[in-house]
Amino acid sequence: MSKEHPPLQHVPVLFDAVLRELAPKAGESYLDLTAGYAGHATAVLSITKNDKESVLVDRDDYAIAHLQHLADRGVQLMHTDFVSAAKQLCEEGRAFDLILIDLGVSSPQLDQGERGFSFSHNGPLDMRMDRSQGSTASELINKATVQELATIIHEYGEEPYMQAKNLAEVIVGQRPFRDTESLAELIKQHYRGRAGKIHPATRTFQALRIAVNDELGQVKAILPFLPKLLHKGGRVGVISFHSLEDRLVKRFFKEQIESGLEAELDILTKHPISGATDDVHNPRSRSAKLRVAVKK
Ligand SMILES: C[S@@+](CC[C@H](N)C(=O)[O-])C[C@H]1O[C@@H](n2cnc3c(N)ncnc32)[C@H](O)[C@@H]1O
């Protein structure tokens, strides 16, 4: 196996908590809006045994190709972003007993240098989950103004504003950038102060990834579809990794609580289930938060 192509492994986060909270039962239909490498999906489908009424969505063609064996069993695969998938499923009048959204990136996305998500595996600065859509990270940083880049690094990377502005100025001054290693090296050289235990480029890479894939726009837009896509009594779980994502889910759930008799969902998790306490052996779970609701 070459260094560029490690085995495609993804250890699902909060695995036990997802099964406990969604509590799949035989015959139930399942919609996985971020199927990835089907860690959660395989476990759910092994209980529900209802392949024909289940749908797995991912915007990543690598992931979809990996799920082909499930399509051969009758599970429907959709290679698109989850907002487009939800619109289509709603138009078709479809609804499900179980829905899961496990946001963020998969380990194979990070581990394959050619995808351009990672500074530890050199590759082209791409970062698109769907390689057929939108601008790459290199197009973004080679065109953006200092102000635009500083805002992305500050808001999505949660770097202090002065650090974000400093990095944006250095990037704009030294561009163009085409590969992940040269960008990471520049950030390392110019990062002010210490980044703690993580590589100084970690937060900037996360910020670029969120911007390239419009990740927060996708989260915001998917939430109102969830009640429409659930049968009465159906459960939905959302796993987020970033405080801005979790804030959107938390606000949507709070609005449901506040809408009283009009509410379409009952919120089952008053406080999110945290990977830091509920899934301590999986390092990917450290920042994961799971919120769960049930359709009234
Ligand atoms: C954390 S992984 C999911 C892992 C999966 N639960 C498993 O156990 O294998 C997230 C996946 O969601 C996909 N994804 C992220 N945002 C998406 C979106 N807006 N629409 C569709 N897929 C998305 C990514 O491509 C990635 O494969």
Task: State pLDDT tens for residues 255-265.
Answer: 999 998 899 99
For residue 136 and ligand 1, the question of a CB distance below 6 A is answered with no
Quick one: 199 and 137 in the same domain?
A: yes
Give me the sign of the Cα torsion angle 104, 65, 108, 37: positive
Structural domain includes residue 147: yes
Give me the sign of the Cα torsion angle 130, 2, 11, 95: positive
Structural domain includes residue 7: no
Quick one: 186 and 223 in the same domain?
A: no
Q: What distance, in Å, lies between the first and last C-alpha atoms of the chain?
A: 50
281-292 confidence digits (pLDDT tens): 888 888 999 999
Quick one: 82 and 165 in the same domain?
A: no
Region 15-44: mean pLDDT is: 97
Among 180, 212, 244, which residue terminates a domain?
212
Among 184, 212, 240, which residue terminates a domain?
212
**Residue 166's CATH number:** 1.10.150.170
Host H or E run for residue 266 = strand 265-267
Asked whether the predicted pLDDT for residue 156 surpasses 70, the reply is: yes
103-154 confidence digits (pLDDT tens): 989 999 988 889 999 888 999 999 999 999 999 999 999 999 999 999 999 9
pLDDT confidence of residue 237: 98
Quick one: 142 and 288 in the same domain?
A: no
| Number of domains the chain is built from | 2
Q: Tell me which residue has tokens 């399942």.
A: 30
For residue 123 and ligand 1, the question of a CB distance below 6 A is answered with no
Quick one: 102 and 222 in the same domain?
A: yes
Atom of ligand 1 nearest to the CA of 58: 22
Structural domain includes residue 164: yes
Q: How far is the CA of 261 from the centre of ligand 1 (A)?
A: 33
Quick one: 35 and 165 in the same domain?
A: no
Quick one: 246 and 195 in the same domain?
A: no
Quick one: 36 and 59 in the same domain?
A: yes
Among 172, 197, 212, which residue terminates a domain?
212
Q: What pLDDT band is residue 8 in, cutting at 50, 70 and 90?
A: low
CA-CA-CA-CA torsion for 239, 243, 249, 255, nearest 10 degrees?
Answer: 150
Atom of ligand 1 nearest to the CA of 39: 8
Asked whether the predicted pLDDT for residue 268 surpasses 60, the reply is: yes
Q: Tell me which residue has tokens 């490498």.
A: 37
Q: Nearest CA to 235 among 12, 6, 20?
A: 20
For residue 218 and ligand 1, the question of a CB distance below 6 A is answered with yes
**Residue 25's CATH number:** 3.40.50.150
189-232 confidence digits (pLDDT tens): 999 999 888 999 999 999 999 999 999 999 999 999 999 999 99
Quick one: 67 and 93 in the same domain?
A: yes
Q: Which domain holds residue 62?
A: 15-107+216-295
Which amino acid residue places its CA nearest to atom 13 of ligand 1? 34
